[in-house]
Amino acid sequence: MKLPGAERTARVGLTDAEYARIVELVGREPGDLELDLFGVMWSEHCSYKTSRPLLRLFPTTGAAVLQGPGENAGIVDIGDGLAVVMKVESHNHPSAVEPYQGAATGSGGIIRDIFTMGARPVAMLDSLRFGDLGEARQRSLFRGVVKGIGDYDNCMGIPTVAGEVGFDDSYTGNCLVNAMCVGIIRHTDIKRGAATGVGNPVILVGATTGRDGMGGASFASVDLTAASQERKSAVQVGDPFLEKLLLEACLELFRTDAVVGIQDLGAAGLTSASCETAARGGMGIDLDVALVPRREDGMVPAEVMISESQERMLVIAHQGREEEVQCIFDKWGLNAAVIGRVTDDGMLTIRNGDVVVGQVPAKALAEQAPLRHPEAVRPAWQDDLLDLDVTRLQQQDDWTGTLTALLGTPTIASKEWVYRQYDSVVRTNTVIGPGSDAAVLRVDGTDHGIALTIDGPGRMCLLDPATGAAMAVAEAARNLVCSGAKPLALTDCLNFGNPEKPEVFWQFSQAVVGMSEACRKLRIPVIGGNVSFYNETGASAIVPTPVVGMVGVVEDLAHICRQGFGEPDSVVVLLGANTDELGGSEYVRVATGRRAGRVPLLDLEREKEVQELCLTGIRRGLIRSAHDVSDGGLSVTLAESCISGQMGADLSLPAGIRPDALLFGEAPSRIVVTVGAGDLQALVDAAVEMGVPLAVLGTTGGTLLNIDVSGKSLVRAPVVDLAAAWSGSLPQVMSV
Amino acid sequence: MRFAVAVFPGSNCDVDAYRALHDVLGRDVEYLWYRETDLSGFDGVILPGGFSYGDYLRPGAIARFAPLMEAVVRFAGRGGMVLGICNGFQLLTEAGLLPGALLRNRDLTFLCDTVPVRVENADTAFTRCCQNGQVLRLPIAHGDGNYAVDAATLAVMEQRGQVILRYCAPDGTVDEQHNPNGSVANIAGIINGQGNVAGMMPHPERAAEELLGGTNGLFILQSMVQELERRQHEASRC
């Protein structure tokens, strides 16, 4: 039997059970406008109704955590009374439909999440995924996304300091655009998104409201279809200039004490900002849509409430300070309209002039979406993926050729084509910019720095979601350590397919379990993040892609490291041990055309020890360069260190492992470092003391990379040739 | 000696200029909001990089009408020293204080890099700390840095030594291969006929600290400081 509201619920993308719950919470049948509000707020995108039960597994506390998940962004203490505010968020669906605006507004949204906490944004990072660049559509998406990010971030004057880009056929219909913003704030200046104080004015500031981005939250909560391409009205349009003004105006406003609470308007626009601030403050909000400054005529109240027009914020100010707020926004040429007041009835009351057009409990909208517990089933095809007979991989003579080819694959090749389009040095704090394991920024007014990275090994996650997700955490931490930073906290963006499919939900739950375990073992709390489901087109989902953004602290900027070999006659040392594992490697993908095999073992204890040894070596001034082993394996790491340092190396690897596994296996927990000859013993002593395996590989110098095993040269190539393959690949592919 | 760093809506390298002059060189610096109309008490003006007015219409095309620019034009007319960096350079050409125009980069993409530039005239108030032919490594970050000017004007500029910086190879060779944005004659920076107004696409203020990758930008900023010191010294002698 169909409930009376069945047709109506389908229209807003909710189930009959959810409709019944709405009736229960509201105490009557909801009106159309009210149902629209529930439709967007109870969408997966806004409510996390499917992911929330599992996300509770994440460790989210720690001595340094000042704000965990649940606010606009997480906050972690970095000493000196300062803190880092950070968050990563997806903008996948809009970018798949309209790459330039989709990516630009992805930046815009995450930047607002940071300054709404009171912080000045100081850095941007991006994690991107596309299909095969051999296809014109993929090149066009890639080009559009990069330009969208660049135009927005550059105009904002926030340096884009790090990122990663990966390519895989599974992203063909559903590219991934994850943007991360990092801000710095004094502890005493932290703002929160809570509405308190009966009678306090609710002020909408920034841009005008139009029909762009209508229902974007619901749009993000279904699979992409051919019809999605027609839904361009669900994509927002960004104006970084307006956002720059909004940023400066808000920071100026925060220097007064007129603000009670503040929240940006993101997904679900005014609806989410009003009901979430009210719910957090345990209050209600009574607002009048007729007072909202508009850019279009004839908008009905529901449109005003769910519009996702960009560059807007909701400010709750102290009563009587309205004029002061107005003055600051006037100075910056922005709107500031008092649209309502804080009430004590817990209701979100929406008026259109004199008429009340909707009234529902704010908490019901913001927090009481019924949780979903979908079935999780290990895919039947999972075993086929693991099936890889490495003995059938041809053992060839030309390892130099294989290495050169790998260096030119888009996933491994230099991403300079991307980051040259981003201003990475504005605000003059960038000590290490894009193109190393992690970026390092000076913290204004101190000797300290922060290190930042973003990582997500999707290929490994397909084969083993738990280990793959743990590897994302381990690799992000390792990257920070390689720059000389101690990892502090992470923010995650979990990109998956349709969770209503048991196989996808299995991937998701495995990944959350794996990530949680890695976070606990490495003692890195999760302080916020984002889940992006429904990354599917037709029958195919993306490979599970958990992305980890991480911050670390550099105690002393005099002890930082880059990935390139910097000085000749340095001793090249491998921290950690090589293994005979090839599963999931880029090499296997190139050789067989498959993502296949058992992923390498990740021993988190070993991982921790290797990282501690590396960090100790850098802080004691022993280590001159450090680069972790990841995509492409040890030979690619060595080649990249040669290329970045424009210097050769003469190396001999320990024997006893198949040459292809030795050169291209992607076992984790390995870092290649260089030390001065005089410092080698100190490093060896430290390794012995900490129980970390270590191997001396050779010395830097000359113009050739030479890799021997048992006296036989496996790889021998001029560094300039390797550099040409590595650097030339993307520009060449993109010039087509 | 006091510097003013102009702040238009959308300026974003105002901080970079302030830091280099104040924190690194220890000079007296003040931000000046675009609505200000009075430059008395200031000895040098920096028009910083960024995206004034969001680059709407054309970079610098709207900022030139800001009240502060009227004051800057008067200030320059009295011989005051004005340095426009990146968006500031674009603004100076829009305001008619410098010849030519800055078009979209040849490859139509934004370009962030550190590039070698050759000092073409070390006998100016903005380059006196350099040597002729010296190669500086300076950061660039722009989408519209492709300098264009008509041939006749260019000939006059070249003859009068108004081209002060050119993009070049690391060894100082000027060729098309080392022209990042397509600028005519590899021009990276110029000066006006009177020698008191300069514009450049490279960012000297971003190359002022070893920690951040180099200090070559100080050759430019120190030249400006020295010139202002010389002027002060002369004024005090009168």
pLDDT 10s digits, B105-154: 999 999 999 999 999 999 999 999 999 999 999 999 999 999 999 999 99
State the pairing for strand pair A449-455/A704-709.
Answer: unpaired
Interchain contact A558–B (C-beta under 8 A): no
- Residues of chain A numbered 298-337 and touching chain B (CB < 8 Å): 332-333
Contact flag A425-B141 (C-beta cutoff 8 Å):
yes
Using an 8 Å CB-CB cutoff, list chain B residues near A426: 12-13, 16, 49, 141, 206
B113, closest residue in chain A (CA to CA): A420
CATH superfamily name and code, B2-237: Class I glutamine amidotransferase (GATase) domain (3.40.50.880)
Q: Which residues of B touch A (CB under 8 A)?
A: 9-10, 12-13, 15-16, 19-20, 49-51, 53-56, 109-113, 139, 141, 143, 205-206, 208-209, 211-212
Across A168-197, b (16+ Cβ under 10 Å) vs e yields bebbbbbbbbbbbbbbbbeeebbbbbbbbb
Using an 8 Å CB-CB cutoff, list chain B residues near A240: 51, 54
Q: What is the DSSP letter of A51?
A: T
What type of residue is A623?
I
pLDDT of residue A445: 86
Q: Identify whether A114 is part of a domain.
A: no
Q: Find out whether A174 is annotated in a ligand binding site.
A: no
Using an 8 Å CB-CB cutoff, list chain B residues near A559: none
Contact flag B110-A151 (C-beta cutoff 8 Å):
yes
Q: Identify whether A274 is part of a domain.
A: yes
Residue A214, domain CATH: 3.90.650.10
Contact flag A333-B55 (C-beta cutoff 8 Å):
no
pLDDT of residue A1: 39
Q: Where are the beta strands (DSSP E) in A443-555?
A: 449-455, 486-495, 526-532, 536-537, 540-541, 545-554
What type of residue is B137?
R
State the pairing for strand pair A284-288/A160-167.
Answer: unpaired
B35, closest residue in chain A (CA to CA): A331
Q: Identify whether A538 is part of a domain.
A: no
Contact flag A431-B13 (C-beta cutoff 8 Å):
no
B214-222: average pLDDT: 98
Residues of chain A with pLDDT under 70: 1-6, 215-234
Compare CB distances from B110 to A241, A421, A425 and report the shortest one's residue.
Answer: A421
Using an 8 Å CB-CB cutoff, list chain A residues near B49: 426
pLDDT of residue A346: 97
Using an 8 Å CB-CB cutoff, list chain B residues near A428: 15-16, 19-20, 205-206, 208-209, 212
Distance CA A80, CA A185 (A): 11
Among A208, A210, A191, A203, residue whose Cα is nearest residue A314: A203
Q: Identify whether A629 is part of a domain.
A: yes
Look at residues A342, A368, A394 and tell me which one is the last residue of a structural domain: A368
> Closest approach of chain A CAs to the CA of B153, in angstroms?
32
Using an 8 Å CB-CB cutoff, list chain A residues near B20: 428
A427, closest residue in chain B (CA to CA): B16
Q: Work out how many domains chain A is built from and give that number.
A: 2
pLDDT tens by residue, A318-368: 999 999 999 999 999 999 999 999 999 999 999 999 999 999 999 999 999
Q: Identify whether A578 is part of a domain.
A: yes
Tokens found for residue A510: 């495995």
DSSP string for A343-364: ESS-EEEEEETTEEEEEEEHHH
Q: Please report, for residues A468, A537, B206, B225, the alpha-carbon distance to residue B26 in angstroms, rounded to integers and kept in the order given.
A: 51, 59, 16, 11
Domain of A681 in residue numbering reads as 561-736
Place of tokens 């260019």: B154
pLDDT of residue A542: 94
- Residues of chain A numbered 385-444 and touching chain B (CB < 8 Å): 419-431, 442
Compare CB distances from B212 to A157, A332, A428 and report the shortest one's residue.
Answer: A428
pLDDT of residue A6: 65
Catalytic residue among A91, A373, A448, A627, which?
Answer: A91
Contact flag B109-A147 (C-beta cutoff 8 Å):
yes
Using an 8 Å CB-CB cutoff, list chain B residues near A422: 110, 112
A91 is catalytic: yes
Q: Identify whether A595 is part of a domain.
A: yes
Q: Identify whether A480 is part of a domain.
A: no
B205, closest residue in chain A (CA to CA): A428
Using an 8 Å CB-CB cutoff, list chain B residues near A448: none
B130 is catalytic: no
> Closest approach of chain A CAs to the CA of B162, in angstroms?
28
pLDDT of residue A381: 93
Contact flag A423-B110 (C-beta cutoff 8 Å):
yes
B203, closest residue in chain A (CA to CA): A426
What count of other Cβ atoms lies within 10 Å of the Cβ of residue A53? 14
Q: Find out whether A93 is annotated in a ligand binding site.
A: yes
B170-197: average pLDDT: 98
Using an 8 Å CB-CB cutoff, list chain B residues near A244: 9-10, 12, 51, 54
Contact flag A421-B112 (C-beta cutoff 8 Å):
yes
Compare CB distances from B211 to A332, A424, A557 and report the shortest one's residue.
Answer: A557
Contact flag B16-A332 (C-beta cutoff 8 Å):
no
pLDDT of residue B171: 97
Contact flag B54-A427 (C-beta cutoff 8 Å):
no
State the pairing for strand pair A284-288/A120-130.
Answer: unpaired
pLDDT of residue A215: 65
How confident is the prediction for chain B on average, in pLDDT?
Answer: 97
A687's CB contacts (< 8 A; 6+ apart) are: A575, A613, A693, A694
Under the phi-then-psi rule, with left for phi > 0, alpha for psi from -120 to 50, and beta for the rest, what region is A683? alpha
ipTM for the assembly:
0.97
pLDDT of residue A230: 59
CB contacts < 8 A (A, B) = 84
Is residue A697 classed as helix, strand or coil in its secondary structure? strand
Contact flag B54-A239 (C-beta cutoff 8 Å):
yes
Compare CB distances from A422 to B55, B56, B112 and report the shortest one's residue.
Answer: B112
